[in-house]
Structure 1
């Protein structure tokens, strides 16, 4: 194993899938086993979750306070403080439109200024989930009669305005664990320190998004 001498930048590469078998089909995502030729003596098997992808929103007010909500997450048996976010599970919906919808549904706010803040894979070792986090500013409260009524875990979620610097401290101290909260808060802090110059436009291409079921979909 040697040291890499080229630029440090992710590179797309689709290894040949020899066989693919659907193991589980769920309400939101599926699980499959791919037999992949990595170039070694024998192909290897990899289990993965086929995921729709998702978007999140770091919403900042004029005083650089970030809007967080408290939501119960059954998989980790905890209430987590996190930015508004949601699945890309509406057929044909643009990711930015999904982010605008999630901000409205979960917080009762709309934003006039949008940028792409950060893109990432939530768990690339076993899930195809692509995630795009937006930065939303110039916020306005939606009139009472136009607000969304949540369901299940989204009913009566408390909201909190947290100064961005305090949110960074909470992340580094291990008090915030949601991945959108961790990456989004830190990315927003870095972007602000650079005068927001590194932000991408809201409609920036999302070339690293993985379509549901690809590659090797059964």
Structure 2
């Protein structure tokens, strides 16, 4: 079976600062027509920042979409100046935490939810951190609180339902894998 859908027609129904919402009419492999609702996104980068003593820097913020506080790894959207996810990651780490890192390692990348969006997320590990005297300011519409958590504290946030977004759940399992690899 051929897995391809030909776009017959596409209509942009809303273009915001972060996303664009489109409706597509597509032709399925069997010749039938169907509708797809797609959220276009410029992409983002996330950071798994480890302190010298092996703790993880997280940020707590309110997420309107889920009407709740959320504890997450630092992350942010690519903007017009960022051609690479690494540049985005460096900027976001400084803006959200006041830290920079001397060591950056690419971890992985993935589509966050390809059933309805083309958002592509790149994840980097940051280490050898240091505080910046005059860090980049947070975005005007952003209110975040930094949390520096031990492995057990981070998992407790997860178990309490405070840490549930996909990138941060990934980061926890990545951390678990790293710990297991060092004990074997």
- TM-score relative to the length of structure 1: 0.75
Q: CA deviation at 1:159?
A: 1.2
Deviations 1:125-175 (A, max 9, x none): 1111111111111111112xx2123244434x3211111243134324533
Unaligned runs of 5+ in 1: 1-12, 196-218
Q: Is 1:15 aligned with 2:5? A: yes
Question: Which is richer in strand?
Answer: 2
Distance 1:19 1:173 in 2: 45
Distance 2:60 2:157 in 1: 14
User: In 2, are the aligned partners of 1:58 and 1:84 still within 8 Å (CA)?
Assistant: yes
Q: Is 1:175 aligned with 2:162? A: yes
Higher relative contact order (CA 8 A, sep 6+): 1
User: In 1, are the aligned partners of 2:69 and 2:162 still within 8 Å (CA)?
Assistant: no
SS at match of 2:162: coil
Match of 2:77 in 1: 87
Q: Is 1:56 aligned with 2:46? A: yes
Q: CA deviation at 1:182?
A: 1.2
Distance 1:81 1:192 in 2: 21
- Aligned pair count reads 180
Aligned partner (choices 42, 50, 57) of residue 32 of structure 2 = 42
Q: Is 1:72 aligned with 2:62? A: yes
Match of 1:161 in 2: 148
| C-alpha RMSD over aligned residues | 1.9
Distance 2:110 2:18 in 1: 20
Q: CA deviation at 1:186?
A: 1.5
User: In 2, are the aligned partners of 1:117 and 1:188 still within 8 Å (CA)?
Assistant: no
Deviations 1:178-203 (A, max 9, x none): 222111221232134234xxxxxxxx
Distance 1:160 1:95 in 2: 23
Q: CA deviation at 1:119?
A: 1.9
- TM-score relative to the length of structure 2: 0.87
